[in-house]
Structure 1
Amino acid sequence: MQSHYFIAVPLPEILKQEIKEHLMKDQQRETLSFKRWVHQEDYHITLAFLGACSKEQLETIIKQGKELIRSWIPFSLALSEFGLFGQENKPRIFWLGVQEQPILYRYREQLYQLCQSVGFQLDRKAFSPHITLARQWTGADRFQLEELCSDISSKWVVNEIVLYKSVLTNEPKYHRVETFELK
């Protein structure tokens, strides 16, 4: 199986733990029946999914990514609300969003342009920054998003971006290949 790569905003350890503890409260109430839960160490906000890549592409994106991201200033993000992708009654993705932050969109666009110049074919869907929490609803009843507590309101400063490699046979699945420090 070929490895896939992506570039993402990592979450601080304390925030990962807070999210996990919050979700465990709901899981213990058995209100969240999903086939697969994302390991807390794999929580992140994807900026660019690269997929499979050649050694040359990887070396180039690391070199040029370092230069680009070094020019970025650190910025704050704050968690917002839970959401879904897919059918509302049987979602395929359960996620936690972040509050609107214009600088995140600007940086993501710069990164996209760089990745495309290196030869990556990237998804052109509208950017919806989120942290994937679970996949594939398996509950017998309709998923009740409105019943979830939304008292996670943490804020953090982003001062690094990470190039990850997916290792689907491991848990956690995502492993740091390179860390890009902001200015």
Structure 2
Amino acid sequence: MAMHYFLALSLPNQIKKILNEWKQQQQLSFQSWVHWEDYHITLAFLGSAPPSSLHTIQQELEKAVYKWKPFSLQLQGLRTFGTSERPRVLWVDVKHSKELFTLQREVHTICEEAGVSLETRPYRPHITVARRWKGQGQLYDLQANEIEELYTASFSAEQLVLFETHPTETPKYKENFKISLHSHSS
């Protein structure tokens, strides 16, 4: 089976802890819940990109990172992908951030210039927490399952990571390389 890769922002442990503690209290019926160490915000899914492309992407990201600095992000509640009868994915929304969208576009461009074809759907930053609804009936009121931190927790985006997927392992995402966003001193 081919290895799959994606570029993402890693989350600080305090955010992973909030999400994991929330998950432990849930009675929602999803087939699979994401392991707390696997929480992230995807920037670009690379699929089974060849090693030569990954090497080029790493080199170009390391060159580009000097113009990126850490920026603040805030959680913004629960959402789903799919229908209310059969939601495919339960996720935590991230408040709109100009810096995040700019970074994602630049990462996307670097990947395409390295020869990797990427998704063309509009970018929707999110943190996946569960997959495949298995409950009876519809998933109605997500707000009933939320805690205040899912709307108020903020954090600094500081690390860009290339993850490789290991579907049979837990956690299933392993760091291939990481690049820290730089704080600029004047």
Deviation per CA, 1:37-71, whole angstroms, max 9, x where unpaired? Answer: 10010000000000101121111111111111232
Unaligned runs of 5+ in 1: none
What aligned pairs does 1:153-172 form with structure 2 within 5 A after superposition?
153-172=152-171
Counterpart residue identity of residue 132, structure 1: T
3-state SS of paired residue (1:178) = strand
8 Å contact from structure 1 (residues 9, 46) kept in 2: yes
3-state SS of paired residue (1:104) = helix
Aligned to 2:64: 68
8 Å contact from structure 2 (residues 77, 146) kept in 1: no
What aligned pairs does 1:110-129 form with structure 2 within 5 A after superposition?
110-129=106-125
> What's the Cα RMSD here?
1.0
Aligned to 2:6: 6
Separation of aligned partners in 2, 1:83 and 1:73: 28
Alignment partner of 1:146 is 2:151 = no
Unaligned runs of 5+ in 2: none
Alignment partner of 1:20 is 2:20 = yes
Counterpart residue identity of residue 174, structure 1: Y
Shift of 1:123: 0.4
Counterpart residue identity of residue 34, structure 2: V
Deviation per CA, 1:53-96, whole angstroms, max 9, x where unpaired? Answer: 11211111111111112320110001111000001221000000
3-state SS of paired residue (1:115) = helix
Counterpart residue identity of residue 87, structure 1: T
Separation of aligned partners in 1, 2:165 and 2:146: 31
Separation of aligned partners in 1, 2:147 and 2:115: 40
Aligned to 1:176: 175
> Which 4+ runs in 1 deviate beyond 4 A?
none
Separation of aligned partners in 1, 2:24 and 2:17: 10
